Amino acid sequence: MQKVKPKKFLGQHFLNDGTIAEKIVNSLTGHGNYSGVLEIGPGMGVLTKLLLEKKEFEIFVIEIDFSAVEYLKKNFPQLNGKIIEGDFLELNLREFSDKPFAVIGNFPYNISTQILFKIYDHRQLIPEIVGMFQKEVAARIASKPGNKEYGILSVLMQAYYDIEYLFTVDEHVFTPPPKIKSGVIRLRRNKNVQLECDEKLFKTVVKTAFNQRRKTLRNALKPLTNKTDLPFLSMRAEELGYLDFVELTNNIDSKKT
């Protein structure tokens, strides 16, 4: 059976451990009553094979690597009509589905944060994500306020998702082995359909606050506002939870003053 050669420029590291693949696939809970599941970067289908065994889900895959697409077509005829050839970052998700769906994958390290930013922008459509990331990235997303790992993605994703760091994956279970460990996390939509603030401004406030994270918010937010009576000004961005950022956003919002 012809195998797919991992391509460095695509950041491919193929998982070759069936036990870990099973743990990843079984981490899908169906939270949010979805039936469709989109796998990003299936490669040679180590997760895909197990996903297809879950008859409660309709499985779709998106793959940018032509040789991997050909492999999947030959070895997974069940995916006929359900293989999207292309880049997830370029995919129109609203055209892909108008119903909720989950996202799963061994995400390429070089675009993993971009994947999450895209999911954030389509959060109403995606109630659950199970993903494998570089361990440090996974830890950052799941990190709580007060930790140095805590950052922009932590706040944005935690505003809409409950996030669990599930387990760490060693280097030797990949082909080729990466130089770093991986981490698997699960994100499940919380009850926040919409934050009680201007959500576009919220995102801007979070990004501005963390762009100079060593500074107090009094100084970090100067590019955004000259108000001096805001809450939390003596604190740093990493000390605030998402609800604190909601309060801060409402205090900055000129329409509310």
pLDDT in the model for residue 31: 97
Secondary structure (DSSP) of 93-147: HHHH-SS-EEEEEE--GGGHHHHHHHHHHTTTT--EEEEEEEHHHHHHHHPPTTS
Asked whether 250 and 242 are in contact (CB, 8 A), the reply is no
Q: Output the pLDDT for position 257.
A: 57
CA distance 156 to 27: 22
pLDDT at site 248: 97
Could you tell me the fold of the domain covering 199-256?
Helicase, Ruva Protein; domain 3 (1.10.8)
Whole-number pLDDT of residue 1: 46
Domain spans of the chain, in order of start: 8-189, 199-256
User: According to the CATH classification, is domain 8-189 in 3.30.1330.10?
Assistant: no
* pLDDT (tens place) for every residue of the chain, 257 residues total: 468 776 776 666 889 999 999 999 999 999 999 999 999 999 999 999 999 999 999 999 999 999 999 999 999 999 999 999 999 999 999 999 999 999 999 998 889 999 999 999 999 999 999 999 999 999 999 999 999 999 999 999 999 999 999 999 999 998 878 899 999 999 999 999 899 999 999 999 999 999 999 999 999 999 999 999 999 999 999 999 999 999 999 999 977 65
pLDDT number for residue 2: 61
